[in-house]
Chains A and B, each alone.
Chain A
Amino acid sequence: MRMLGDRRGAVHTLEALLAAAVLLSSLLYSASIPREYEGGRTLDLEALGLEVLLALDGNGTLGWLIENRGWGSLEEYLRAALPSWVSFNLTVYDELGEVVNDHPISNGGLVGWRVVSVDYLCVARSGSCPFYRVRLQIG
């Protein structure tokens, strides 16, 4: 009789341990599910990129910098305007699709598990009114 009672206690202990293991593993698994990263942050990056370019172009600064080949200033502006965790690479194309910037406009290359690209159409307020396509890749 005493032996039977001891075994029953051991079985209860095992069952309790199994239940705890089930709960713990579900908690660990649920913690690994991203809450916002997949949809939220990727799409935020696109909106962020467009809004930064819109803000820079609002008073014609973007077109002016491109016309004057101010790549260093453009890079500095993007470094200041974008969050520090964002990596970027900007390329400027002219109306014929030729690359205009002769050196990379970047904060050290694209880093990140997801990279998005936004295209912005820029009109420079200069005599010949040139048009540019600005491609900003952010990760």
Chain B
Amino acid sequence: MCKCRSGQVLILTALTIAVLIISTEIYLYRLSETRVETRYDLLCDYVQNIRLGSRHVMEASLANITWGGSNQSLSNNLERWSSFLMGEYCFGSCILNSTPRNVSPYSSGLWIDWSSDGRGTSSACSLFEFRLMGREVDVNLTYTVNVTTTLLVSGSYSIVGGEEKRLEVWCRVLNEGNPALAGNITLLYLKGGQWRDPVGLPDYTCMDYGNGTYFFSFSEVIPGNVVTVSARCYDRRTIYVQAEAECREG
């Protein structure tokens, strides 16, 4: 009796093993569907996209203003950006409100100071409030975007003979306080009430250290105890900044 049923037991065991194999495969397949987590990743990338776009709006506006554009272009571009996002419905409806900083030294989100103390600043700052509402998401995010290009100028001279002086000038370019490369940098010196370019002078030297530091040296006959130099530069984001400094013997 037992021997007769051994074949049936064999088939039943095989069926059980088959069911186990298939259910394990289906379980693993379901486990690999990390739909919720990936959607969260996509949402993070989307928010990152909005933040990066806001930064680029600020950079483009500041570049435009420092090249002579209207100060209104910052608020106009921010309004356009908010309107552009209103038409978005990727994860839900988007609302982006921007408030340009109005606390000193900023005015309407801008701080442009190209003074003669060896430091020039071109800066824009704004607060953003982002709201994303959809069936599956509800995001409230507040972030600040600060775009600042700073130029630091310092230098000194040594007497070569008579009124002839050898000038050594250091310029440093900073983006948000960190060293940054300049797209272009020019140094001028004041002689006889006029700004002059030293590029044509015989011993003119310009060194780019590759870390946002630039060194200039040249010799020129300049009367007086103080030599005023002016550096003018735009960074890789095409934001313009300039700074003046007084060089003394040292």
Q: Could you tell me which A residues sit within 8 Å of B by CB distance?
A: 8, 11-12, 15-16, 18-20, 22-23, 25-27, 29-30, 33-36, 38-40, 43-44, 46-47, 50-51, 53-54, 57-60, 63, 95, 119-127, 129, 131
Contact = CB atoms under 8 A, between A and B. Distances in A.
Which of B15, B18, B26, B80 is most buried by chain A, counting CB atoms within 10 A of its CB? B18
Interface stretch (B45-53, B109-117, B122-130, B193-201): B45-53
B61 interface: yes
Contacts, number: 129
Interface stretch (B81-89, B150-158, B165-173): B81-89
Contacts of B237: 60, 125
B84 A131 contact: yes
Interface in B37-56: 38-39, 41-42, 45-46, 48-50, 52-53, 56
6 contacts: A18-B11, A19-B14, A23-B14, A43-B34, A123-B57, A129-B64
Contacts of A50: 42, 45-46, 49
A26 B22 contact: yes
A57 B52 contact: yes
Contacts of B25: 30, 33, 35
Nearest to B50: A121
Q: Is the interface of A mostly helix, strand, loop or mixed?
A: helix
Nearest to B23: A30
B32 A39 contact: yes
Contacts of B64: 127, 129
B203 to A, nearest CB: 37
A126 to B, nearest CB: 6
A47 B38 contact: yes
A66 to B, nearest CB: 12
A15 B7 contact: yes
